[in-house]
Amino acid sequence: MRITRARVVSQVFFMGLFLFFAFVTQFGYLKGYPVSLFLEADPLVAIATAMTTHTLYRGLLWSLVVLLPTLLLGRVFCNWICPYGILHQFTGWLFNRRNPAEQIDSNRYRRLFSLKYYLLIGTLMMAAFGSLQIGLLDPISLLYRSFTVAVLPGIDMPTEWIYVRPHVHRLAWVVGLLLVFLIGMNLVIPRFFCRALCPLGATLGILSRFSLFRIERSIDACIDCDLCLQRCEGASDPHTNLRKSECFVCFNCIDDCPHDALSFAFAAPVEHQVTWPDVDRRKAVLAGLVGLFTFSFSRRSGDLDKNFQKEVIRPPGSVAETAFLERCIKCDQCLRVCPTNVLQPAWFESGIEGVWTPVMNMRMGYCELNCTLCGQVCPTGAIQKISIEQKLGIAGFEDLGAVKTGTAFYDRGRCLPWAMDTACVVCEEVCPTSPKAIYSRQVEVTTRYGEQLRLRQPYVDPEVCIGCGICEHECPVRDHRAIRVTAVGETRSVDRTLLLSLVEGDGENNARLAGNPEIAERHTGA
C-alpha cells in the first residue's frame, strides 16, 4: 500500500533528522541548525512549561505544527514523526519472533495501556503548581537524555584516540539501563512505552478524539478474522470497537485486511467507536492527588532559598533557581554541546525536583570563557541565550559586569604553598579573567628544619572571580581540591550573596556579627 510506504519514508527522514541534530551537537558546530526542533515541536513541553511559568516560550510555538494534524488526522505524530516511537517500532520489528497468532494476541488492547493518562494527570498537576517533571517521561526529552548521557559517549569511546575526547557523565549507567529496559520490553509487549507510559502519547490521544478523519470498519464486510491486529501499532482494537485515542494511524490494519472492511475517511462518530480514553474517574482524581502531594514533598526536599546547596552551580545564563526548575525539561542537550564536559546531570543536590537537571562539576571540566552553546540549545529558556560580550561584561555590558556562576574559595589546609611549603602557581596561571581573579603575595616562610623559603601564596578576589572553575579543575591536589567553586555570589540570584547582610536586609547588625563594621557603615549610610 502506498500510504504505508509513505509512512516508512517519513520515519526514515525524521529519524535521520534527529540523528543529524544529535551529531551536530556532538561537535558543538551548530551553524544555525535548529537542533532543538523536536523539543520545540513537542506539544507536551509547550503545555507543561506554559503551566509552570504562565508564559509560552516563543520557540515552542512549533508545537502547533503537531497539534493541527492531530486534530485533523489523529495521532500521526506517534508513528510518523516521533523518533522515540520509531526506535521502538524498529527494534520491535527487528527482534520479533512471534508467530501470527501470537502477534494478534500481543496487539490486543489491555487496561494497562491507560496508565499513561494517569501519569499525564499527575505530572500536569505538578506543573500547575510550578514543578516541571514532564521531562522525565516525555519521549523526546527521554531520547535526547539517553543519547546525550549514555549512547553517544559509548559511541565516542572507540574513536577517542582518533579525533575526540568522549564525554563522561555520572550515573550514565542508570540512563543506559533504562533505555535498554524500555526497548527490551518490546519483546514482551510491542511498543510498551508508547502504549503504556508515554505522556505525550496520552496528550495526543485526548486531542485525537476530535480528529475529523478516522478508521472506519464495515460491519457487513468484516468476518472477524482479527488479521487487522497482526501489525497494529497502537493496540486500538480496529476489529471491534475502535479505540480512536489509541490509534497511531499506521494504516497497517487497512493494508492487512483481506476483505477491505477497513478504510480511513472523514466521518462522524459512530456507536462502535470508543473516542474517549479508557480512564476511570476515581483513578484520575487519585492521580491528581498523588501529583499534588508529590509536588509538596519534592518542593520541601529542595534548598531553593537561604539554605541552598552550594554545589548547585548552574550554567551561565541560567535563570533563578525556582524559575530554572519551572523551565528545565531535563533533555540534557546542554550537556552534550558543552565542549569541556563540565555540565553533569544532577542527582539530589537541588532536591527531588532537580534530578537530571544540569549542574557544573569542576572536577569533570570547566566553563570555557568564550562559549555560550548551552544557552543556544536550551528549548525552554531555562538557560538564556546570551552573547559572549554579555557573558564577559564587555562591549556595552560593562555596567552589568560579567556573568558569575559562583566564587572560588581556598582550602588553605590543602593548598601547597599555604600548608606544605611547596611552590605552586597553577591556579593563578590558568585563571582566564582580566585582571586575574587569582593573585599571589610573596612571603618568606621557615620550614620545620629551619630552612628559609620564598613562596607565592594565592588569594581570590571575589569581585573579579566569575566561577568558571578552571582553577579547581587544574588544581594538582587530588581528592578534594585545594580551591573549590561554590554557587555563592552567582549573578542569577540576589539571595546567594557572599555576605549574610545582603540576604537578610539588616546590614548593620549582620555586618557587625560578621566582625566588619566598615560594611555596616556602607549599608546604613553612616
351 lies in the same domain as 436: no
The amino acid occupying position 1 is M
What is the model's pLDDT at position 517? 44
Cβ neighbours of residue 488 under 8 Å, at least 6 residues apart?
310, 406, 407, 409, 496, 497, 498
| β-strand partners of 215 | 264
Determine the Cα–Cα distance for residues 131 and 114; give it in Å rounded to an integer: 23
- The yes-or-no verdict on residue 62 having pLDDT over 90 is no
Chain mean position to CA 3:
35
What range defines the domain where residue 22 resides?
A: 2-132+190-274
| Count of domains forming the chain | 3
Packing angle, helices 139-146 and 199-208, rounded to 10: 150
E strand intervals along 126-261: 213-217, 242-243
Answer for the pair 249, 75: CB distance below 8 angstroms, yes or no: yes
The amino acid occupying position 376 is Q
8-state DSSP, 385: -
Domain assignment present for 498: yes
Answer for the pair 427, 438: CB distance below 8 angstroms, yes or no: yes
Per-residue pLDDT tens for 329-386?
A: 999 999 988 989 999 999 888 888 888 999 999 999 999 999 999 999 998 889 999 9
The confidence band for 302, taking pLDDT boundaries of 50, 70 and 90, is: low
Determine the Cα–Cα distance for residues 55 and 52; give it in Å rounded to an integer: 8
The C-alpha R_g of the chain, in whole angstroms, comes to 28
Q: What percent of the chain has a predicted confidence (pLDDT) above 70?
A: 89
The amino acid occupying position 89 is Q
Spatial CA neighbour of 89 closest among 329, 252, 277: 252
Domain assignment present for 179: no
Q: Write down which residue in 242, 257, 274 finishes a domain.
A: 274
Domain assignment present for 171: no
- The yes-or-no verdict on residue 437 having pLDDT over 90 is yes
Give the residue with greater pLDDT, 431 vs 497.
431
Spatial CA neighbour of 494 closest among 483, 481, 506, 503: 503
What is the model's pLDDT at position 27? 61
111 lies in the same domain as 222: yes
Give me the DSSP letters along 263-309. EEEE----TTEE-S----HHHHHHHHHHHHHHHHHHHHHS--STT--
Determine the Cα–Cα distance for residues 40 and 162; give it in Å rounded to an integer: 34
Coil, strand, or helix at residue 85? Answer: helix
388 lies in the same domain as 468: no
Determine the Cα–Cα distance for residues 167 and 164; give it in Å rounded to an integer: 9
Domain assignment present for 336: yes
Per-residue pLDDT tens for 483-514?
A: 999 998 898 887 777 765 444 444 444 433 33
Coil, strand, or helix at residue 205? Answer: helix
Backbone phi, then psi, for 357, in 5-degree steps?
-80, 155
Average pLDDT of 73-102?
Answer: 90
Domain assignment present for 32: yes
Query: Up-side HSE of residue 500: CA atoms within 13 Å toward CB?
Result: 10
Q: At 345, which helix (H) or strand (E)? A: strand 343-345
Determine the Cα–Cα distance for residues 444 and 456; give it in Å rounded to an integer: 9
Domain assignment present for 309: no
Determine the Cα–Cα distance for residues 160 and 349; give it in Å rounded to an integer: 31
Spatial CA neighbour of 248 closest among 170, 190, 298, 172: 190
194 lies in the same domain as 326: no
343 lies in the same domain as 425: no
Average pLDDT of 449-453?
Answer: 88
Where residue 355 sits, what CATH number does that domain have? 3.30.70.20
What is the model's pLDDT at position 28? 58
Coil, strand, or helix at residue 365? Answer: coil
266 lies in the same domain as 382: no
Determine the Cα angle at 493 with ends 171 and 304, to 5°. 55
Domain assignment present for 185: no
Give the residue with greater pLDDT, 166 vs 520.
166
Residues making up the chain, counted from first to last: 526
What pTM did the predictor assign?
A: 0.86
8-state DSSP, 194: I
Longest pairwise C-alpha distance within the chain: 106
